[in-house]
Amino acid sequence: MKRLLIVLVVLTLFAAAAAAPDPELERELPGVRQASKIFTSSLSAVLSDSLEEEGAVEAIGVCQETAPEIAKNIFKETGYEVGRTALKVRNAENAPDAWEKKILKSFDKKMAKGTDPSGLEHIEIVTEGEDRVVRYMKAIPTGGFCLTCHGSDLELDLAEKIGELYPKDQATGFKEGKLRGALTIRKVLEPLPEEPAVEPEEVAPKEEVKPAPEKKPETKTSKEPETKK
Ligand code: HEC
């Protein structure tokens, strides 16, 4: 058992190394993994508490409201935008973009070949317009308790509530252990330093507008800035 564990750990490390060959990605990887971990553990803690204490119908609100709240806090703390997506979504706002769809399909394929979903992740730097963006996805397998709301036999009142809130719901009929979706994280990176500067003598003198000299605050009475709520 221990040996199997070591093999698995080594394999995971190799997979990570293979997915992140460049130093910039290696620098980002711990951050995105941590953001992913915090998001997942916070959400599942709140969700399972709410399921237990208030029941599934009330817990829907947790999925709907708490997930974006947790994401907002992580963004504030780390600059990573965290979301959830899937090939079949409940909330159309979670629908994958082309890049996410591609990665979800690759996760699906790997799982079909027997890869353990808990280690499935992908990190890449992509170009979006002028921006270089680090993008990361981590597979979300369907756990047993997810079936309450994503399985095949939903309780009537729950199915009704979900139908009301999400008339275009596609996220039922999942089986335990199958891919439910993925966590998706992105962050716009600092632009790379410019190519080595052009020879200085070739550069036309810059007609840079000098920043306006700082205004002295004499005209302004020392009014307290409005307090933020
Ligand atoms: C109490 C019902 C409930 C339970 C239990 C539940 N979910 Fe959901 N799930 C929802 C609702 C409602 C949404 C839509 C949230 C939104 O509006 O963004 C959702 C959305 C999602 C999404 C985002 C993609 C989409 O379909 O919109 C993923 C991924 C997801 N759930 C995975 C899971 C997993 C994995 C579990 C088990 C660990 C789970 N859910 C348990 C109700 C539930």
Could you tell me the pLDDT band of residue 29, with boundaries at 50, 70 and 90?
A: very high
Lowest mean pLDDT across 33-37, 124-128, 209-213, 223-227: 223-227
pLDDT tens-digit map of 141-185: 999 989 999 999 999 999 999 999 999 999 999 999 999 999 999
Could you tell me the pLDDT band of residue 220, with boundaries at 50, 70 and 90?
A: very low
Are 107 and 117 contacting, i.e. CB atoms less than 8 angstroms apart?
yes
Residue 175: CA atoms inside 13 Å, Cβ hemisphere, count?
Answer: 1
Lowest mean pLDDT across 52-61, 138-147, 164-173, 201-210: 201-210
pTM: predicted TM-score of the whole model, two decimal places: 0.78
Q: Does the 22-188 domain belong in CATH 3.30.2000?
A: no
Sheet holding 131-141, edge to edge: 81-85, 179-188, 131-141, 121-128
Delimit the domains of the chain by residue range: 22-188
At 89 the pLDDT is 98
User: Which residue is it, tokens 């979900």?
Assistant: 162
Q: Which residue has the higher pLDDT, 215 or 87?
A: 87
Residue 220: CA atoms inside 13 Å, Cβ hemisphere, count?
Answer: 7
Rounded to whole angstroms, what are the CA distances from 172 to 67, 88, 102, 147, 176? Answer: 19, 9, 21, 8, 12
Q: If DSSP codes are grouped into helix, strand and coil, which group holds residue 68?
A: helix
Ligand 1 contacts (CB < 6 A) are 44, 47, 51, 56, 59-60, 63-64, 67, 84-86, 89-91, 94, 140, 142-143, 145-146, 148-150, 171, 180-181
Q: Nearest C-alpha to atom 43 of ligand 1 is from which residue?
A: 149
Evaluate the CA torsion angle 24, 30, 34, 40 in order and state its sign: positive
Ligand 1 probe mutation, 63, 82, 107, most atoms within 8 A of CB: 63
Residue 199: CA atoms inside 13 Å, Cβ hemisphere, count?
Answer: 2
Give the integer Cα–Cα distance in Å for 104 and 96.
9
Give the integer Cα–Cα distance in Å for 52 and 62.
12
Could you tell me the pLDDT band of residue 12, with boundaries at 50, 70 and 90?
A: low
DSSP state of 62: I
The answer to whether residue 68 scores a pLDDT higher than 90 is yes
Q: If DSSP codes are grouped into helix, strand and coil, which group holds residue 179?
A: strand
The answer to whether residue 9 scores a pLDDT higher than 80 is no
At 221 the pLDDT is 46
At 63 the pLDDT is 83
Q: Among candidates 29, 36, 34, 89, which has minimal Cα distance to 63? A: 89
At 155 the pLDDT is 94
Q: How remote is the C-alpha of 112 from its chain's centroid?
A: 23
Q: How remote is the C-alpha of 110 from its chain's centroid?
A: 20
CA 88 to ligand 1: nearest atom: 26
User: Which residue is it, tokens 């992908």?
Assistant: 122
CA of 110 to the centre of ligand 1 (A): 22
